[in-house]
Structure 1
Amino acid sequence: MNEIKSALIPLIENQEWKKLKSQVEKLEPYDVAELFEELSERDKIIVFRLLNNEQTKDVFKMLSHEKQQEIIDGLAENANKITRLLNDIEPDDRTAFLAELPGEVAQKLIQQLSPEQRAITNQLLGYPKDSIGRLMTTEYVAVRPEFTVEETFQHIRKFGHDSETLNVIYVVDENWKLIDDLRIKELILADPNQIVDDLINHNFKALKATDDQEEAIKKFKNYDRVALPVLSEEGVLIGIVTFDDIMDIADNESSEDFHKFGAIRSAISNPLKARVFELYKNRVVWLLALVFMNLFSGAALESFENVIQSVVALVFFLPLLIDSGGNAGSQTATLMIRSLAMGDVKISDWYKLIGKELVVSLFLGVTMAAGVSLVASFRAPEVIGVVAITMVLTVLMGSIVGLLLPFIFTKLKLDPATASAPLITSIADISGVLIYFSIASWWFGF
């Protein structure tokens, strides 16, 4: 990337626009999008202006929302360029961009669209925020079942230039209801005089426009498709969702869950470029809440002050024991959150898993108890029994909390990733202190 930048910057500085345009047109859209991360705002706009129409669409799609906004702002004095860009990019990409803008700004840009594209955009924006309707594109190729294979290819050549994908062709009736979908390979290998109706088996998978986007992720995973049709309640084909769009959504979902599991309020795309206050704001609420939550640990310690003063060696093992419970809980929660997100387990499966998790965590606890007992035999033999029993119970407690919290959050219609690692760790800390010193009090007769 540095080589590309060093080759283009002198051309920009010397205003050698013809050479710059020639160099830019040789670049892949991905390389141009990556280059924009390195260029100044002024140079970005210069390079973007020199892209051809096809590059403009592809590069704009690959940019972050912030970079897209910078491009639109930079082209503000060139209304024709903005109009052409917004009309040319795919409807789903345009909808995703407009949905992030303030309503007043979005409406101004929508008014610059052609009547046809404006109608499509308003339709897509009318669907719920995280629905398939927001994600779909209306650019696809559909044919009638009575078409011959040769007629189908003629239709594709005529109407397929703007299609999001030509890997799948859709077969519809006179009312535009979906009959089936056909992979292009099946058409290529068929006899030119064969009719489409002979090639289909009426066995297709589809999505509803009102379905949640996570439903699309599951269907793409389960059925290995490059595209899926989107239907209205009446079965009418109204759009398609492609694999690349689903990959973007899956990536966003993973990032969002990762941030939630780390107790960060919302995803930050690039911490290098994020403002200090933005980083602070996204982390302070959870951390402050956990500070007050951990006061319970201090209160528990205070209530066992006489035990601690009498057997000081107990303090040495305290961090090890409570951290083990938190770590076990975080492991279990990570497994459960992923399984729930991927649809491998359902909320009704919790009782099937709890027995298995009890056995697994018992084995883990006993193994870890053996390890900590070995350490205690050298450091403080008198507390071996206490630390061994505590290790087993804290690992059991942490694992059960880590298992149940994602199911509880799902039941409450909350994202299971909200059962974050710091929350699990704090619960494990409090329960670990209580378990440890309660056993010590009983063991030493306090």
Structure 2
Amino acid sequence: MTSTPPQSTASRTELRALVRSQLQALLDQNNLQGAKTLLVPVPPVDIAEAISELPEEQRAIAFRLLSKDEAIEVFEYLDSDIQQDLIAEFKRQEFLDVVDRMSPDDRARLFDELPAKIVRRLLDQLSPEERNATALLLGYKPDTAGRIMTPEYVSLRESWTIEQALEQLRRLANDRETIYYLYVIDDGRYLRGVLSLKDLVLASPDQRIGDVMSRDIISVRTDTDQEEVARIIQRYDFLAVPVVDIEGRLVGIITVDDILDVVQQETTEDIYTLGGVQAGEESYFRTNLFTVARKRVVWLLILLVTNTGTSAVIQSQEDLLEQVVALAAFIPLLIDTGGNVGAQSSTVVIRGLNTDEVEMGRSLRIIQREAVAGLLLGIMLAIVVTLWAFLLQRNWGVAMSVGISLLAISLLASVAGSALPFLFKALKFDPALMSAPFITTVVDVLGVLIYLLVARWILQL
């Protein structure tokens, strides 16, 4: 395929939308040859996106227009639920040809989503080499390095010359995940060194691999959490990282494109969790609505029950509110602002815990820092709100009550927002899932109580 000039993100998005609309129009007209011609110059990842957005009855038709090699690559880019829909449409042999030639890590990811009976039947019908590679990955725990690695890498021996290594590379390159790093092993498959493609090309043909390779190896074990693998690749700017078993034998590699999928997956889970939505195995937007409602209602019910504390506080101060009705108008402003301040503090702390930027041993220092930040925010907000409340009510007593309460609530929210994630982390709970509802409850109940007590003190009621 001839190279094309780089395109901006906007133009690429417009191009993908154009391809999808034209593809659907051609399929509607049953112009299969035109649709096939349309897809020839389109990159596989964009074809996958176009197929994903087609009506279900047209996806299999569009997929069958691809050549076998292109179909394999496109299939790997599709979401797992669309892969399963296509599987149901394929004839058995047609599907086996695609699955057998998938990369082992993508195949293992697909098998994770399929029923166990289907997985066993498919494993039995794969070629022996691919069956062993897939079974190896499925044998490791989910979300670990062993589960997302690929056994398709290029290995060399220390005693080989550069010329021998180049011959090995030419022989294996087409079937390997990446050739930018070459791994040096001994007879027992223990990892002894690593050699970059650049170093290999620049070395003299008669030099030994052992003389030019790097012995300073950074690797991960098969049981290393996938988030830790992502941090290592990010820290060292690797394109791939080797994976060794418990005894130090090289069993696979993890490439940066697989880690990007992990980062997207983990970030999505964190965002769902922060919103009180329990993420499932399926995409949230493709999950059954009743399942969505069942998962989301849990924390909403908890908040509904705990927020009765706010009602109890207001009820206990009915005499004050009856005398100064204007106070009630500012309750939503105060608790909403407090909730926002608490959410800001908890978000930065939870993110820091997830990326290891924040350590449990520094919890007191972080809480103190957020307390000072909350105090400064409270002072700035209190000045503005006090003046605004006076302009609205023409009552300095009410205005001062609102301003002082907002200062205290901002301080409380910052402390709660930064402290609760550390507390839940220490108790082995997920800080993202547990912090939000508890911060909301603390700020709502204590915020209203502080406000009404401050108002009673200032107004002498």
Structure 2 unaligned runs (5+)? 1-15
Contact 1:262 1:422 in 2 (8 A): no
For the 8 Å contact 1:372–1:387, the answer to whether it is kept is yes
Give the match for residue 5 of structure 2.
none
1:433 paired with 2:433, answer: no
Q: Give the partner amino acid of 1:414.
A: F
- Note if 1:182 corresponds to 2:195: yes
Cα distance in 2, alignment partners of residues 14 and 433 from structure 1: 64
Amino acid aligned to 2:52? E
Does structure 1 retain, via aligned residues, the 8 Å contact 2:52–2:78?
Answer: no
Matched, 1:92 2:105: yes
SS in 2 for 1:111: helix
The aligned runs of 1:332-343 (5 Å cut-off) are 332-343=345-356
Give RMSD over aligned pairs: 1.9
Q: 2:283 aligns with which of 244, 255, 269?
A: 269
Deviations 1:75-109 (A, max 9, x none): 1xx22121111111111111111112222222222
Structure 1 position 131, deviation (Å): 1.1
Q: Counterpart of 2:315 in structure 1: which amino acid? A: E
Q: Partner of 2:13 in structure 1?
A: none
Match for residue 45 of structure 2 among 3, 21, 30: 30
Cα distance between partner residues in 1 of 2:27 and 2:455:
74
For residue 14 of structure 1, report the CA deviation from its aligned partner: 5.9
1:3 is aligned, of 18, 21, 30, to: 18
**Counterparts of 1:145 and 1:425 in 2: how far apart (Å)?**
61
CA distance in 2: counterparts of 1:25 and 1:338, whole angstroms:
43
Between the aligned residues of both structures, percent identity stands at: 37
Count of residue correspondences: 443
The equivalent residue for 1:137 is 150
Structure 1, 196-205 or 249-258: larger mean CA deviation: 196-205
In structure 2, how many angstroms separate the alpha carbons of the residues matched to 1:192 and 1:63? 42
Show the 5 A alignment for 1:70-109.
Answer: 70-75=85-90, 78-109=91-122
Listed as ranges, the gaps of 5+ residues in structure 1 are: none
Residue correspondence of structure 1 range 13-52 to structure 2 within 5 A: 17-52=32-67
2:207 aligns with one of 184, 191, 194: 194
CA distance in 1, matches of 2:29, 2:413: 64
Letter in 1 for 2:188: N
1:68 corresponding residue in structure 2? 83
Contact 2:425–2:431 (8 Å) recurs in 1 = yes
| TM superposition score normalised by structure 2 | 0.91
Question: CA shift at 1:325, angstroms?
Answer: 1.1
SS of equivalent to 1:127: coil
Deviation at 1:444, TM superposition (A): 3.5
What is the CA–CA distance in structure 1 between the aligned matches of 2:297 and 2:385, rounded to whole Å?
35
Provide closer, same or farther for how the CA distance between residues 367 and 17 of structure 1 changes in structure 2, counting only shifts above 3 A: closer
SS of the residue corresponding to residue 182 of structure 1 reads: strand
Cα displacement string for residues 304-338 of structure 1 (whole angstroms, at most 9, x for unaligned residues): 11111122221122111111111111001111111
CA apart distance, 1:15 = 5.2
1:424 matched residue in structure 2: 439
Match of 1:395 among 387, 405, 410: 410
Other-structure match for 1:230: 243
Tell me the amino acid that sits aligned with residue 135 of structure 2: N
Matches within 5 A, 1:408-419: 408-419=423-434
CA–CA separation in structure 2 for the residues paired with 1:347 and 1:427: 22
**1:315 corresponds to which residue?**
328
Listed as ranges, the matches of 1:359-374 within 5 Å are: 359-374=372-387
SS in 2 for 1:240: strand
- CA contact 1:409–1:418 (8 Å) conserved in 2: no
Deviation sequence 1:379-412 (CA, Å, 0-9, x none): 2211233222211111111111110122122222
Contact 2:20 2:51 in 1 (8 A): no
Measured after TM superposition, the shift of residue 24 of structure 1 is: 2.9
Q: 2:311 aligns with which of 289, 294, 298?
A: 298
The question of whether the paired residues in 1 share the 8 Å contact of 2:373 and 2:414 is answered with no
Given candidates 151, 156, 160, the residue that maps to 2:173 is 160
Q: Tell me the distance in 1 between the aligned counterparts of 2:106 and 2:234.
A: 22
**Following the alignment from structure 2 to structure 1, what is the Cα–Cα distance between the partners of residues 32 and 308?**
64
Distance 1:19 1:326, change over 3 A: closer
Partner of 2:6: none
- Residue 183 of structure 1, CA deviation: 1.5
CA distance in 2, matches of 1:265, 1:9: 35
